[in-house]
Amino acid sequence: MDGKQSLQASTNSSYIPTAISSMSDEEHSEGEAAGDDTSPLLSRQQPAGPLATRRCPEDSYNLVYIIFFLMGIGSLLPWNVFITAKQYWLYKLSNNSSPAGQEEPHNDLSDYFESYISIASTIPSVLCLILNYLLVNRLSSRVRILFSLLVILVVFVVTTVLVKVDMSGCRMQFFGGTLASVALVSGASNIFSGSVFGISGHFPMRISQAIISGQAMGGTLSALASIVDLAASSDVTDSALVYFITADVFTVICIIMYLLLPILPYSRYHMDLAAAPFSESDTSSSASSDVSVPPLRPILKKTWVLGACVFYVFFISIMIFPAVSSGIQSMNKDSGNPLTTTYFVPLTSFLLYNVADFCGRQVTAWLQVPGPTSRVLPLLVISRTVLVPLFMFCNYQPRYHLHNVLFAHDLFPVVFICLLGISNGYLGTLPMIYGPKVVPRELAEPAGVVMSFFLTLGLAVGSAVSVALVHSI
């Protein structure tokens, strides 16, 4: 079965094959009304009542797209802020006696800090996404989104205040508090992103793509901020202060943008459409919406292959980034050139990965190949496994077991990180935007949450494996 074979019609679908993907939302509606079978996922059912006579308004100035893009940034910005502020965390966890810029001796915290952060973030995320699924029909998406954003804001305000507090006398307590903060922020971020991605299932597929591209842009912005801070400030605490204040401000912006969303005609139309009964026998739809917990079996029946693809894409990515990739040092580190010392990891690991990831995700706005039922998609996802040994045999330091560096040139990690980022962005986005479109309309939001669960589960398992991977090098 390839990507062009017919699937059972979904009352929620808006997937259009690549050859006609430039059609507007209004053209989609006209095609549906005419009975034009332009897509294997395109529904012919129309809403009953007043919505049947309403024409879909335009997304004026792409405001709805921009809002979801900004909320995509906000959903992963907290995680990216924590992992890219590595120098600040290592400074706070040291005895604070080393002059700025002087390298700390290796210890367990410095060598495996990214792995600890990954575990502390992803395990609570999985639990919170399970909770989010259970609450889909019990708490409105508005309550879940606003509550999670408020939790993120409170944690980041506390983190910002602690920047200028001397923690040299209780660094292990600070380390525990940092992991607790990461756990809280990650759990809240995943409730936020899962809920936002869930409601995006009621919109055309370009809106789901906007969220996922925004998530990659959040990583890019945090990486850029980290580099600018390194260049502009010699004091790591001053740099971190600006860094965390930026995260505080952007979280407030996300709250404002979400409150603005229901006011816009384009988003209000699709939200009303999601709540409206359809003209054909829609009794099963209304019945399932009254159930406190959405039925999982029909969702998994349609999405398990796509979910497995999402899981494995992010499983491989988090194994490598940032635990392994940020430990790769320049072969010319002793030259004294800032590009091979101070800026090598921020540029080649964090910035380059996030830019490549963003590019891969953005391509899905114009190109959606392979299709949701194609066998090629799982094969491409599995092929990324080869990236793991490629990174292991770059110049990762310190090396305790694998002493041979096979890729002894700075160009190799640059090429590998580009491949990792682009493939993560493209192959991770396709199944995520397909998932809510292959299920019935009333299951679109819980299907979005389920796809987010597969993503986070991949991150959780991958982060645990990354600890073993780092110890094996």
Amino acid at 274: A
pTM of the full predicted structure? 0.76
pLDDT recorded at residue 151: 95
pLDDT of residue 52: 56
pLDDT at position 277: 63
Residue 154: is it exposed, middle or buried by C-beta count within 10 angstroms (0-12/13-18/19+)? middle
**Tokens in use for 78?**
């907290």
Question: Superfamily assignment of 62-275+285-472 in CATH?
Answer: MFS general substrate transporter like domains (1.20.1250.20)
The amino acid occupying position 109 is: L
Q: What is the pLDDT of residues 148-177, one digit of tens each?
A: 999 999 999 999 998 888 877 787 888 888
Neighbours of 142 (CB within 10 A): 14
Give the integer Cα–Cα distance in Å for 392 and 230: 27
Which pLDDT belongs to residue 172?
80
Integer distance in angstroms from the first to the last C-alpha of the chain? 41
Q: What angle do CA 306, 308, 314 make, to 5 degrees?
A: 105
pLDDT in single tens digits along all 473 residues of the chain = 444 433 433 334 434 444 333 344 443 443 343 333 333 454 445 555 565 556 888 998 999 999 999 999 988 887 778 777 777 887 887 755 444 444 444 556 656 666 677 778 777 888 888 888 888 888 888 999 999 999 999 999 999 998 888 877 787 888 888 889 989 998 899 899 889 988 988 898 899 889 989 988 888 887 887 787 777 766 778 878 887 888 899 999 999 999 999 999 999 988 888 776 655 445 454 544 556 788 999 999 999 999 999 999 999 999 999 889 999 999 998 888 888 988 899 899 989 999 999 999 999 989 999 999 999 999 999 999 999 999 999 999 989 899 899 999 999 999 999 999 999 999 999 999 999 989 988 888 899 889 988 988 898 888 889 889 998 99
Residue 335's CB is within 10 A of a number of other CB atoms, namely 11
In this structure, the chain runs to a length of 473
